[in-house]
Structure 1
Amino acid sequence: MPSILLDPSFRRMEEIFSDEDLERLHDCCDVVWGKNERAPQAVVDEAKADAFAVVAPSWRYGELESFPNLKAILEVGGRHPSVDTLDYAYCHRHRIRVLSCAPAFGPMVAEMALGMVIDAAREITLGHNAFTNAQEAYLWHGNQSTFTLYNKRVGLIGVGGLANSLLPLLRPFDVELVGYDPWRTAAFLASQGVKCVTLEELLASSDVIFVLAIPSRENKAFLNRQKLELIQSHAVFALISRSHVVDFDDLTQLLHEGRFRAVIDVFPTEPLPEDHPIRTAPNTVLSAHRAGSVIGDST
């Protein structure tokens, strides 16, 4: 049977495998390790010679040459391994497939993103907090700064897999969709019902902005203060994919200045330090990177 190094930590086994699927895997493969804790180096070293596939959240095993029989890398972290750690040219030459679990997380992440945006736009959490403090405002008095998603302009930064899951959820709201993605053509965006615009136009004109771009060398912190200052004061900025693409210090400062609203599910350090100022930012809905980790739906 083919040998598979199953080393999913930080993911948990029960998060990515149902009992039935794990049983099927053991029936067809020689599973090495397969525990919630990270595989010790000695286990990895012993598995290298025979490993047909590696299941892990990233590539953390050094030179590919030490895996002579490797044919597949299956990442379970939510994004393809970085080019800084994985030699994709070697994978191509040796026909090693590099596969990502990201499409499986897409629908649940999209659902959470939409829910958080509606929360911020309709001030659901703010209204709840006011109610628990006996400071609630009724009827139109409690809607002075809220807005609905219907017929609004929605901007997508990154029009890939996550956008593919989000678009069907947005269409019932009859929104005007605009997008910015340097890796996609205007024709492709148009085929998805999205108008291609510059990043600056998207930020300055959208009522809701979804950050869905995957990390790359080119887009690290490209959403800096200069760009973020373009966002309208009533708009909701939804940081959903990775914090890598945002200058998080600039974002935090602008939110404390009350420049716009935000919903955030991803952070530069996780767990986030207890004294991080984003925790007290006004008009901000925070989630502890829970959008794609729903037990039962991710297996």
Structure 2
Amino acid sequence: MSTLLSARRVVVTQRFFDAQARAFLEQHGCTVSEVELPAGVADGDLGVDVLRRHLEGAQGWIVGHARVDDELLRALPALRVIARRGVGHERVDQDAVRRHGKVATIAAGGNDAAVADHAIALMLAVGRRLHEARAQLVAGDWSIPLATELYRKTVGVVGLGRIGRGVVRRLRGFEARVLIATPERDEAFAAEQGARFVGLDELLACADIVSLHAPLTPATHSLIDAAALTRMKRGAILVNTARGGLVDDAALLAALEEGRLGGAGLDVFESEADPGLQAVTHALLRLPQVVATPHAGASTAESLARTNLIAARCVVQVLDGQTPAAECLLADGRSPNLSR
């Protein structure tokens, strides 16, 4: 093996990096270092100094939720590629990636099915009041909470990326009436799925369930704020498997406590990015009509295997001087012609 190949060190700062993805990297001349994280700690909790120590001399980095910014990249001159094992990229400073001549990728297509399944699961769990029913049983109370069906309900899907499309397809099995709010309309897809494009205000006013699948950008931050929650149907359910910042969690808490909404299914929270809002998160978790999970929508064995392998392939492609697939390429600083 050449010195060039043997020098290709890849650091993984995510849990559940499987043997197949590791073997793929090793078969392509990479040495793999997996960072052991303490229980309850994710790579997004690690400081710049800690990350720099782990990544010093590495050419590739498979990352979860750590912030990739100018300060960190400046300290890592050997690093060539940052591969997110996921699709969200609000913590990656794309301009900094380009300025430092590096490449950043996402694992597009790897977790779509898992998150779409999770969104449907939350709709069902909140509507059927599973959290409340279990709590009653544990307390020895066998009375039956009156639930509601997903069958033939009006469901509003906000955002129509890969996951949003997966949710729309799954809703056909429930004979749901689907409304979609998104800036870019794919009329052929809507016609094929029996869905209809509407404005956000109409969606909020008509939907029995609102499911969020938009990216977090300055334009979508607090998209569902107090005013938007007021426009929702009384008794409606809000599901968020996208990003916490899409929802004003304090306003959601108030709407639930006042009984204006019927419930919420939450996989993401504002406090993930702002620890000062942890009290709001804990208050939401205490509500019986809230079904919550710890940003676990993408975390199935199948999904992680897919995203691990996609991230590994992106790393190898960059280290080989190639360009990853367009849907995976987030920022490319090797040449102005390759940046997007």
Instruction: Please give the TM-score of this superposition, normalised by the length of structure 1.
Output: 0.81
Gapped regions of structure 2 (runs ≥ 5)? 38-42, 44-49, 306-340
Residue 217 of structure 1: CA displacement? 1.5
1:122-148: CA deviations, max 9, x gaps?
22222232233343335xxx43xx221
Corresponding residue number in structure 1 for 2:158: 157
Map residues 1-299 of structure 1 onto 2, 5 A cutoff. Answer: 1=5, 3-8=8-13, 11-12=14-15, 15=16, 17-31=17-31, 33-37=33-37, 40-47=51-58, 51=59, 53-57=60-64, 58=66, 60=68, 62=70, 72-82=81-91, 85-87=93-95, 90=98, 98-101=104-107, 103-137=109-143, 142-143=145-146, 146-182=147-183, 184-185=184-185, 187=187, 190=190, 193=193, 194-260=195-261, 261-270=263-272, 272=278, 276-295=282-301, 297-299=303-305
Residue 45 of structure 1: CA displacement? 4.1
Identity of aligned residues (%): 21
Residues 1:42 and 1:282: Cα distance change in structure 2 (over 3 Å)? closer
What is the CA–CA distance in structure 2 between the aligned matches of 1:196 and 1:155, rounded to whole Å?
10
What is the CA–CA distance in structure 2 between the aligned matches of 1:219 and 1:275, rounded to whole Å?
20
Gapped regions of structure 1 (runs ≥ 5)? none
Is the CA contact 1:255–1:282 (under 8 Å) kept in the aligned structure 2? no
1:45-82: CA deviations, max 9, x gaps?
433xxx2x432225525276777786643112541254
Quick one: which amino acid aligns to residue 116 of structure 1? Answer: L
Quick one: which amino acid aligns to residue 24 of structure 1? Answer: F
What is the CA–CA distance in structure 2 between the aligned matches of 1:22 and 1:75, rounded to whole Å?
15
Residue 259 of structure 1: CA displacement? 1.2
Is the CA contact 1:79–1:102 (under 8 Å) kept in the aligned structure 2? no
Residue 202 of structure 1: CA displacement? 0.6
Residues 254-263 or 102-111, more deviating: 102-111
What is the CA–CA distance in structure 1 between the aligned matches of 2:80 and 2:52, rounded to whole Å?
21
SS in 1 for 2:143: coil
Quick one: which amino acid aligns to residue 87 of structure 1? Answer: D
Is the CA contact 2:241–2:268 (under 8 Å) kept in the aligned structure 1? yes
Residues 1:233 and 1:44: Cα distance change in structure 2 (over 3 Å)? same
What is the CA–CA distance in structure 1 between the aligned matches of 2:298 and 2:54, rounded to whole Å?
29
Residues 1:4 and 1:148: Cα distance change in structure 2 (over 3 Å)? same
1:190-226: CA deviations, max 9, x gaps?
2563311111111110011101111112111121100
Residues 1:125 and 1:282: Cα distance change in structure 2 (over 3 Å)? closer
Residues 1:34 and 1:131: Cα distance change in structure 2 (over 3 Å)? closer
Using CA pairs under 8 Å that are at least 6 residues apart, name the structure with larger relative contact order, 1 or 2: 2
Q: Which has the larger helix fraction? A: 2
Residue 99 of structure 1: CA displacement? 2.3
Residues 1:127 and 1:40: Cα distance change in structure 2 (over 3 Å)? closer
Quick one: which amino acid aligns to residue 268 of structure 2? Answer: V
SS in 2 for 1:103: coil
What is the CA–CA distance in structure 2 between the aligned matches of 1:169 and 1:190, rounded to whole Å?
13
SS in 2 for 1:108: helix
Is the CA contact 1:239–1:263 (under 8 Å) kept in the aligned structure 2? yes
1:152-199: CA deviations, max 9, x gaps?
1110011112113223321111111111112x1253652563311111
Residues 1:191 and 1:99: Cα distance change in structure 2 (over 3 Å)? farther
What is the CA–CA distance in structure 2 between the aligned matches of 1:32 and 1:137, rounded to whole Å?
54
